[in-house]
Amino acid sequence: MKVGFIGLGSMGSGIAANLLKAGHEVTVYNRTASKAEPLVKQGARHALKVADACQGDVVMTMLADDPALEGVTFGDGGILAALRQGAVHSSLSTISVALSEKLASAHAEHGQRYLSSPVFGRPEAAAAGKLFVTVAGTADAVDTCMPLFEAIGQKTFHFGTRPADANLVKLSGNFLITCVIESLAEAMALVGKAGLDQHQFLDFLTSTLFVAPVYKTYGAMIADKKFEPAGFSAPLGWKDNRLVLAAAETLRVPLPLASLIYNRFVTLMAHGGESLDWSAISKLAAEDAGRGK
């Protein structure tokens, strides 16, 4: 398939590479052009402008936040202006429910199809084509993009026809991950201060009731206090925390646990946590317990 790919960060680079491997004809665009080089070596065409990446059947976007996605979509030379009638914009980014609704309307007005298709997984999963893809939008648009999703992920979940629903699923999923981080952080601070071996405690948990990968991944980071380099940075994690709170606010749903985690992020940012992994909020439970910096 002829597909454009916009956004070559740590996630996007791996995803685009897997599209190439699957035999798709990929045109990549990135604001900082140098990031396109490795992909060009793997066979990608390099678009120098956003519009050049919008000439195929589908354009995929994988950007850091709402402003970045709005930047490439609206305005002169943006996706809306460049994409042909009937083509699909598949948005992989973790964005707000509100922007997703706005994009759905705008693409519909332009005779284009919009598919909300955020992905779960850290950069290693993106590189390995092992992402989970959560999609919402019309069945025909999903059908169009399914070969692409199969190239980048291990499984695709279709959440109905309203695109923003997939974004809510993504934000809720990330919220649940932060809950795992915070709860492990508190439990580890407790058993650690009692003198127990945190790794042994963790091995027990993850071989019994909490066998899920998130407990293993984040538990190890918490036990090792190893938050650099950031697989998913604290500022981005905080952004997602604010987005789930914003979505919940609109729906009038109180999320006290998300609020608690919000304050963890604010505190982390007040102490210079910008470059750390989002799991670094776990340091705060340890510090509050007097377990050192």
Q: 74 or 157, CB closer to a copy of itself?
A: 157
Contacts 24+ apart (CB under 8 A), 39-44: 39/8, 39/13, 42/17, 44/5, 44/16, 44/20
Task: Assess whether 226 carries a catalytic annotation.
Answer: no
The H or E element containing residue 227 is none
SS3 157: strand
CB of 74 vs a copy of itself, minimal distance in Å: 21
Work out whether the CA dihedral 11, 146, 151, 122 comes out positive or negative.
positive
CB of 15 vs a copy of itself, minimal distance in Å: 17
CB 126 within 8 A of CB 231: no
CB of 19 vs a copy of itself, minimal distance in Å: 21
Binding mask 190-229 for a copy of itself (x = CB under 8 A): xx-xxxxx--xx--xx-xxxxxxxxx--------------
Q: 109 or 195, CB closer to a copy of itself?
A: 195
CB 233 within 8 A of CB 278: yes
Report how far residue 40's alpha carbon sits from residue 28's, in angstroms, rounded to the nearest whole number: 8
Pairing of strands 58-61, 45-46: unpaired
CB of 235 vs a copy of itself, minimal distance in Å: 12
Report how far residue 74's alpha carbon sits from residue 54's, in angstroms, rounded to the nearest whole number: 13
Question: How far is the CA of 65 from the CAs of 70, 91, 95, 110, 131, in angstroms?
Answer: 9, 11, 6, 23, 19
CB of 29 vs a copy of itself, minimal distance in Å: 29
Residue 240 in the binding site for a copy of itself (CB under 8 A): no
Positions in 99-158 near a copy of itself (CB under 8 A)? 120, 132, 134, 155, 157
Q: Give the active site residue among 2, 49, 102, 170.
A: 170
Size of the site for a copy of itself (CB under 8 A): 68
Residue 292 in the binding site for a copy of itself (CB under 8 A): no
Q: Which residues bind a copy of itself (CB under 8 A)?
A: 120, 132, 134, 155, 157, 159-160, 165, 168-169, 172-173, 175-177, 179-180, 182-184, 186-187, 189-191, 193-197, 200-201, 204-205, 207-215, 244, 247-249, 251-260, 262-263, 266-267, 269-271, 285, 288-290
So which residues are the catalytic ones? 170
